[in-house]
Amino acid sequence: MQTQKLINDGNLAVDEMLAGILAAHPQHLWRPEHAPRAVIARHGPRPGKVALVIGGGSGHEPTFLGFVGKGLADAAAIGNVFASPPPQPAVDAALAANGGAGVLFMYGNYAGDVMNFDMAAELLEMEGIEARTVLTTDDIASSPVREKRRGVAGNVFIFKAAGAAADLMLPLDEVERIARHANARTFTMGVALSSCSLPQTRRPSFDLPPGEMEIGMGIHGEPGVRRGPLRPADEVTDEIMDALLAEMGASRGDRVAVLVNSLGATPLMELYILHARVAARLAQAGLSVHKVLVGPYCTSLDMAGASITLMHLDDELTRLIDHPCDCAMFRQG
Amino acid sequence: MQTQKLINDGNLAVDEMLAGILAAHPQHLWRPEHAPRAVIARHGPRPGKVALVIGGGSGHEPTFLGFVGKGLADAAAIGNVFASPPPQPAVDAALAANGGAGVLFMYGNYAGDVMNFDMAAELLEMEGIEARTVLTTDDIASSPVREKRRGVAGNVFIFKAAGAAADLMLPLDEVERIARHANARTFTMGVALSSCSLPQTRRPSFDLPPGEMEIGMGIHGEPGVRRGPLRPADEVTDEIMDALLAEMGASRGDRVAVLVNSLGATPLMELYILHARVAARLAQAGLSVHKVLVGPYCTSLDMAGASITLMHLDDELTRLIDHPCDCAMFRQG
């Protein structure tokens, strides 16, 4: 059965989306001539500032380009749906955002992205621009080994911390250190209730029978840790929170930031029902909640489901998470 | 077939959602003791200020309670899913928000809401509090007669204008005049691609066969103006824009605010593809775009589909639409 989408030609979906985004947010975003897949912050890049360049496949909106703006990322490289951008858009984005203090590439840990951004970094080095990379690896369901994990919704907090550091004009070494530190303290796990479907095919991209859920599924449909009948929201939340809290290893009195994220088709009512349980569990664990985000932050096209992210704050991360930002799709005063 | 939802008991969905919202946004929202279905802005109500109280059924989040906050609404009365709140929550909300300068009730034009809020207004008058009402009627597909139309996503702009007027400490007469003026200049039309399903039943609440769309469908599944096979996004947008532009009757050079809204399950990629066409049509019509919102602003649970709203701005409305607001789910600097 075909799923229904408000699109034109599936092969043009990303370019048409970009046209719609640039038309909607001219105060926030611009695109260099001859660089159709690079999006740059209107206010943000400036001389002496480390350029934070993020990116990856499309279909996760507002990730990535919704987080380009003053106080957060300086630019994004935009791939096709669920596909890494080739090196050129990453180079274009970096060149347009370059302030002479080096470039930090940040993106989720996926083989295609690593290959393409590494090539972009080499191309930049050849032009005399120092480029470093921090991979996000917050998806605790994707591997027992931190370095092998994928990057998912926790990106929001990790990019936010690094973006704030860069906006504060810290040098490349410091922005890189903070980015790694933020990533190491961020933990995400999701649950899928349905497949998404690609614009090109309009068919489910994997099989998840009605009535089933998959805990830990990745944002491109990568296998999770457990499939079974859908359980009540509180039980699902508990399963995820048990895993997150065990990984995080926080002490009573520690502070956290929380993100309850929609994978695309799951509306706010359900996210807030999940959050009621998340809040109860954090209170039970004696953790203090410094910031809460609830909504679609890192989606998987029209997938039904949600993810929960905890960032284990310290004083430094708290300050950076509170730093103001003004992006097309994320704003904080 | 049951649709899947991340909920517990369907009958508790609204109360659990409210618990999750209050836990997530304590800086923005509070709830009076003994008033479980009234939500009040933490900063907003103050002596001498007209209290703007909005409300209606749940299932449209972030409408209504996401728009409670400084610079927008002072309080909201929360009904069950797709059901008007009874009079008491509206009275509770108004009493908690009352600053001695009168209360303005604003909500969509639905029979149940009119009955219940009118009773609330009478109860307030008995306590010596002046209460007036402005109904929103922006859904142009719902009737040829403005006064009979339903209120839908245009609420965001209409509430925003009235909330700004109240925040500027204008008197009740003026806030009411502005609210009516804002409503008269706001026009919305939607398209549904799937039914939503109620938490209590988890079954589609109406029948919309796969491959079909319904233009003009209401946010509770009220019949639209035309059902037919789903067309490409540009054609759907053109059909809606033709109707909106004809109703609005703007002249070349006039300014508009635009909202491309998800009905719940439709992700940002599709909304921005619609917006690309909206922007092209507005440029063609010689209209200048002052503000654009894209995202889930007035949903219908997990319904797939979208709506487009145009507000025909004048100098007064432009100023009010630009007024800062700080709500749990809507922020503007």
Q: What is the spatial distance between Cα B281 and Cα B286, in angstroms, rounded to a whole number?
A: 9
Judge whether A59 is closer than 8 Å to chain B, CB to CB: yes
Contact of B62 with chain A, judged by CB distance below 8 Å, is answered with yes
Using CB atoms, pick whichever of B2, B233, B292 lies closest to residue A6.
Answer: B233
CA distances (Å), B181 to each of A22, B162, B247, B287, B317, in order?
31, 9, 15, 20, 9
- Among B230, B268, B274, B307, the strongest candidate for a mutation testing the A interface, having the largest count of A CBs within 10 A, is B268
**What pLDDT is attached to residue B1?**
53
A23–B275 CB contact, under 8 Å: yes
Query: Are B295 and A329 in contact (CB < 8 Å)?
Result: yes
Looking at residue A223, what DSSP letter applies? -
B13: phi then psi, degrees, rounded to nearest 5:
-55, -45
Cα–Cα nearest to B254, from B303, B288, B280, B217: B288
Q: To the nearest whole angstrom, how far is the Cα of A320 from the nearest Cα of chain B?
A: 19
The domain ranges of chain B are 11-185, 186-322
In angstroms, what is the C-alpha Rg of chain B? 19
- Separation between Cα atoms, residue B45 and residue A120, nearest integer Å: 53
Which residue is it, tokens 């001695």? Answer: B100
Q: What is the pLDDT of residue A24?
A: 98
Nearest CA in chain A to B209: A4
DSSP-derived secondary structure letter, B83: S
Query: Does B168 reach chain A within 8 Å, measured CB to CB?
Result: no
Torsion over CA: A233, A237, A238, A239 (sign): positive
- Give the whole-angstrom CA distance, residue A105 versus residue A116: 11
Q: Which residue of B has its CA nearest to A22?
A: B276
Q: Distance, in angstroms, between A37 CA and closest chain B CA? A: 15
* CA dist list (Å): B241 to A248, A314, B188, B244, B308: 50, 50, 9, 5, 8
| Residue B282: both structure tokens together | 């507005």
Alpha carbon A284 to chain centroid distance? Answer: 28
Asked if the Cβ–Cβ distance from B6 to A266 is below 8 Å, we say yes
Contact A333 B333 (CB under 8 A): yes
Write down the pLDDT at residue B2.
Answer: 61
Inter-chain residue contact A326 with B306, CB threshold 8 Å: no
Interface of A with B in 106-165 (CB under 8 A): none
CA distances from A254 to A282, B191, B326 (A): 10, 47, 28
Q: Read off the pLDDT of residues B33-85 as tens digits, 9 standing for 90 and up.
A: 999 999 999 999 999 999 999 999 999 999 999 999 999 999 999 999 999 99
On the CB side of A167, CA atoms within 13 Å amount to: 24
H-only helix segments in A150-267: 155-167, 172-184, 233-248
Residue B60 falls in the annotated catalytic set? yes
- Exposure on the CB side of residue A125, measured as CA atoms within 13 A: 10
* Alpha-carbon separation of residue B326 from A318, B171, B295 (angstroms): 21, 22, 17
Residue B210: which pLDDT band, with cuts at 50, 70 and 90? confident
B5 closest CB neighbour out of A1, A2, A270: A270
Distance CA A232, CA B331 (A): 32
Active-site residue, B312 included: no
Dihedral of alpha carbons A13, A15, A21, A23, sign: negative
Residue B58 in contact with partner chain A when CB distance is under 8 A: yes
Q: What residues in A contact B259, CB-CB < 8 Å?
A: none
Instruction: Round to whole Å and give the CA distance between A169 and A166.
Output: 5
Nearest CA in chain A to B24: A292
Runs of H (alpha helix) within B249-285: 268-284
Domains A10-185 and A186-322 share a fold: no
Distance CA A74, CA A167 (A): 9
The answer, for B267 touching chain A at a CB cutoff of 8 Å, is yes
| CATH classification (class only), A10-185 | alpha beta
Q: Where does the pLDDT of residue B333 fall: very low under 50, low under 70, confident under 90, or very high at 90 and above?
A: confident
Look at the block and give the residue holding tokens 């569990």: A281
**Residues on chain A touching B59 (C-beta within 8 angstroms):** 269
Q: Is B291 on the interface with A (CB under 8 A)?
A: no
pLDDT for B167-209, tens place per residue? 999 999 999 999 999 999 999 999 999 999 999 998 888 888 8
Find the closest chain B residue to A269 by CA distance: B17
pLDDT of residue A4: 87
Interface contact flag, A301 B273, Cβ < 8 Å? no
Span B244-291, pLDDT tens digits: 999 999 999 999 999 999 999 999 999 999 999 999 999 999 999 999
Terminal Cα distance for chain B, rounded = 45
Q: With contact defined as beta carbons under 8 Å apart, do A302 and A264 qualify?
A: yes
Residues of A within 8 A of B260 (CB-CB) are 24
CB contact under 8 A, A272 and B194: no
Catalytic residue among B25, B181, B220, B275: B220
3-state secondary structure A247-307: HHCCCCCCEEEEEEEECECCCHHHHHHHHHHHHHHHHHCCCEEEEEEEECCCCCCCECEEE
CA distances from B61 to A50, A329, B53, B87, B158 (A): 38, 18, 16, 21, 16
3-state secondary structure of B247: helix
Task: List phi, psi (to 5°) of A56.
Answer: 155, -165
d(CA B188, CA B297): 13
For residue B26, the one-letter residue type is P
- Chain A residues in contact with B271 by the CB 8 A cut-off are 6, 20
- CATH number for B186-322: choose from 3.40.50.970, 3.30.1180.20, 1.10.540.10, 3.40.50.300: 3.30.1180.20
Residues A269, B2: C-beta atoms closer than 8 Å: no
Chain A touched by B100 (CB under 8 Å): no
Find chain B residues with C-beta within 8 A of A326's C-beta.
333
**Contacts of residue B296 in chain A, CB cutoff 8 Å?**
267-268, 295-296
Sheet of strand B29-30, all strands in order from the earlier edge strand to the far edge: B29-30, B38-41, B75-81, B51-58, B103-108, B131-136
| Chain A positions in Cβ-Cβ contact with residue B19 (cut-off 8 Å) | 276
Which residues in chain A land under pLDDT 50? none
* A296 has a chain B CB within 8 A of its CB: yes
Q: Is B226 helix (H, G, I), strand (E, B) or coil?
A: strand
Does domain B11-185 sit in CATH 3.40.50.10440? Answer: yes
For residue B3, the model assigns a pLDDT of 72
Calculate ∠ Cα A92-A97-A98, nearest 5°: 100
- Cβ–Cβ < 8 Å for B192, B263: yes
Is B132:B166 a contact under the CB 8 Å cutoff? no
The alpha carbon of residue A171 is apart from the nearest alpha carbon of chain B, in Å, by: 29
B151-185 per-residue burial string, b: 16 or more CB within 10 A, e: under 16: bbbbbbbbbbbbbbbbbbebebeebbbbbebbbeb
